[in-house]
Structure 1
Amino acid sequence: MLIKPFAAIRPREDVAAQVAALPYDVYDRTEARRAVEGKPLSFLNIDRPETQFAPDADMYAPEVYAKARELFDARVEDGTFVCDEAPCFYLYELEMDGRVQTGIVACCLIDDYLNGTIKKHENTLEAKERDRISHIDALDAQTGPIFLAYRDNAQVAQLVEQARSQEPLYDFVADDGVAHRAWRIGAPADVEALAQAFAGVPAAYVADGHHRTASAVKVGLARRAEHPDYDGSEEFNYFLSVLFPASELAILPYNRVVHDLNGLTVEEFLARVQDTFEVLHKQSQLLDPVDKGAVGMYVDGEWYGLGVLPELENDDPVAGLDVAILQERVLGPVLGIDDPRTDPRVEFVGGIRGLHALEHRVMLADESAREAGTLKERGPAVAFAMFPTSIDELMAVADAERLMPPKSTWFEPKLRSGLFIHRLDD
């Protein structure tokens, strides 16, 4: 597949740690406002510009995106951001809990997404796309890199290792303990060698950033329509990506909390659950699934260890996923969650937040229902702790041109925004 070097807009080395910010979509509105307090250089100010307005302001108003452009231009003007003179590739390495993953920062062709060379495993929501389309258009730039995975390639790995032997461009540890390092690959011969090596990689997979990818592609297509004489070299034909070898990646579980039992008593619900899962054990302590087919369930103050019934195990790349079995046999028919993308009764909790977060959310939901007088009528909340989907399962689904259920994967560590920016108007 094709990867292209670019002249990144990026923070000065001495302020990179202050600029780098977690992706815009890991925060709700209150969390984003809190996260930028006292941090004027944090890129989250630009990524979530509604933080600069009153809490009740329309976060999608044109003036909000105009504010993002104003802040971005100001950081370029005051020298917080610099721009490399020549197109380069970059390496971006993250280290978390002793595990290291090193990706290539590059631009990918929107046509490779359209023709399936860059494969997806999730659908996107139009409302979320519109936000990032407006953000890209306002800044004339892509600011949040797409997290892509590819099957390991020995030639690419050798070139990456050579580049890592040089002095890093950035080297800092963020407040959450994740270490971030980056290198620039700027010598023309090295740039060409890496591009040629990557031409031998047959496909890449969207690991994290489906909405950012779809938005970047739609902006590119719109600009092609505005410039019918385009020749393919324009920057709007490409989108900002970081490509990681699959063997270095780890997926955390994406857990579920349902705010009531759909009118069932706990006893009735447990009986229905046993049509799909064997109850292996019951305990009051936290219960973390240890293998595929295992699910931890927390309801009414107790944890239940569940195992998928053998006759329901499935080799189909989608139907065999733990999250699919849970959705198709429990969340949908038993709890009434027919569309998990839009039903407000279901909440998705990233595995990075831990199992205590599931207990906390269940208790909050139960208390809210108790205060409203609906606990007896609707039943208590229930949480499901999932075993993480594997990277092999993700690639198998994408290769089959299928889609996973929503919120099937949670990648950690998260790529930081603001370290590498791809300008579209060059």
Structure 2
Amino acid sequence: MAKIVPFKAVRPAPDKIGLVSCRNYEDYSAAELAAWLNFNPYSFLHVISPAYANVQSIGLKKRFKGVALKYKDFKAENIFIQEEKPVFYLYEINTKKQKFTGIIAGTSVIDYKNNHIKKHEDTLEYRVEMFKSYLHQTRFNTEPVLITYPDSVELNTWILLKKQGQPANQFSTTNKEKHTLWKIDTQSDIDWLQEHFDNIPNLYIADGHHRSASAEKLYDDDKELNNPNLDYFMSFLIAESNVKIYEFNRIIRDLNDHSKEDFLKLIAENFIIKTKDQELWKPQNKFEFSMYLDGDFYALYYKHENSNSNERSILETLDAQILYDKVLNPILGIEDLRNDERIEYIPGNKSITTIKEVIDEGGFKVGFMLYPSDISEIKTLADNNLIMPPKSTYIEPKFRSGLVVYEL
């Protein structure tokens, strides 16, 4: 079973919601961040970056305390208001390419511990500890974990019915997205939704592995406080078919002292190579890779895709793992995909011309484009307690900071 709970959320005042909510802090360039902070006094960026001008010169503990104080200021000025009672939300993100609809709810730390909420990515301990410290100091979270549930005709019908009601909030953003929020606050709807999720054996984390791991650590550290909010973490629950999974493409700074000719010979040991010249070619199927090198594109077809799958683990058939095992590690000498400064990642929602332009500028030598994983692949790995290589997937939708706040 999967336990979900409503919660007394804090949200921006209705007349300010479009001004308050923002993209993830890390999505902004320095110039964009400075502009928003200078010209929009309501932006949630003021809360999560209260010491922007000297962010490098203060410690994390002091910075997190500054976040907590600025958040209290926003509440005191009625920029944020709190619900009178626990509620769920139905939330729709309408982008230029796709529409996403999901449920904002509290999900159980105990379910996470018992592997009813399953993960497919590894976490970095320092990031988990850092975000736990952030939660401990600020006592709030506004970035839900993105969790998928199995498609359900019954739930889809219920969602369509609720979307016919009057939204609690509706606004557009400067990147031309439309956001709509419906409040689910009647006891009958709350009971129905909880009962529906009670019958779902497992949920799967799509994005937010560090946030869920941090919530678990905070629960373990502070459970003697008897704070029921610590028993749950905020999640955005969305149907499996409604998640958009992109690949993370790789760009590498050098050929590890190989000449172009030798590099191609080494690649040919495991891949059939077809030159595509200037064609902006992307993989069309699993076991296919695109490579950009020295002004030309190449199609790489993995030679061993038809070998007996029973002789290989699930992980060994993952395209990101194949690229690592056959190229990045043995040929290019990259061992640590997270920390090696010779490799960087570009999400698959960026145009292939982005990779070409970055490499043509001279800072990188070669780029690899992968075919994206699908949800069944992610679930199979999670069900077998296997972990994807770092930066295997870039998953949408992305939740806006400051839209809904879960207080601890």
TM-score (norm 1): 0.90
Instruction: Report the residue type matching 1:257 in the other structure.
Output: I
Q: 1:20 to 1:317 in 2, by over 3 A?
A: farther
Instruction: Report the residue type matching 2:159 in the other structure.
Output: V
Q: SS state of the match for residue 372, structure 2?
A: coil
Q: 1:249 to 1:356 in 2, by over 3 A?
A: same
Determine which of 351, 355, 365 is the counterpart of 1:381: 365
1:195 is aligned to 2:194: yes
Q: Give 1:36 shift.
A: 3.9
Q: SS state of the match for residue 284, structure 2?
A: coil
| 1:278 matched residue in structure 2 | 272
Q: Give 1:32 shift.
A: 4.6
* Segment drifting more, 311-320 vs 239-248: 311-320
**In 2, distance between residues paired with 1:234 and 1:341?**
35
Instruction: Report the residue type matching 1:102 in the other structure.
Output: T
The alignment's C-alpha RMSD in Å is 2.0
Do the aligned residues in 1 keep the contact of 2:270 with 2:304 (CA within 8 Å)? no
Q: Give 1:251 shift.
A: 0.8
TM-score (norm 2): 0.93
| 1:12 matched residue in structure 2 | 13
1:242 is aligned to 2:236: yes
| 2:108 matched residue in structure 1 | 109
1:324 is aligned to 2:321: yes
Q: Give 1:358 shift.
A: 1.3
1:134 is aligned to 2:133: yes
| 2:391 matched residue in structure 1 | 407
Determine which of 262, 267, 292 is the counterpart of 2:256: 262
| 1:219 matched residue in structure 2 | 218
Q: 1:33 to 1:215 in 2, by over 3 A?
A: farther
**In 1, distance between residues paired with 2:17 and 2:388?**
35
Q: Give 1:39 shift.
A: 2.7
Equivalences, count: 404
Identify unmatched segments of 5+ residues in structure 2: none
**In 1, distance between residues paired with 2:332 and 2:81?**
53
**In 2, distance between residues paired with 1:32 and 1:218?**
31
Determine which of 348, 357, 368 is the counterpart of 1:360: 357
**In 2, distance between residues paired with 1:299 and 1:138?**
47
Q: Give 1:45 shift.
A: 2.9
Q: Give 1:234 shift.
A: 0.7
| 2:42 matched residue in structure 1 | 41
Q: 1:220 to 1:298 in 2, by over 3 A?
A: same
1:298 is aligned to 2:298: no
**In 1, distance between residues paired with 2:220 and 2:75?**
27
1:396 is aligned to 2:396: no
Q: 1:97 to 1:199 in 2, by over 3 A?
A: same
Residue by residue, what CA displacement relative to the aligned partner does 1:345-364 show, whole Å, maximum 9, x if unpaired?
11011122222221233234
Residue by residue, what CA displacement relative to the aligned partner does 1:313-340 show, whole Å, maximum 9, x if unpaired?
6744321111110011110111111110
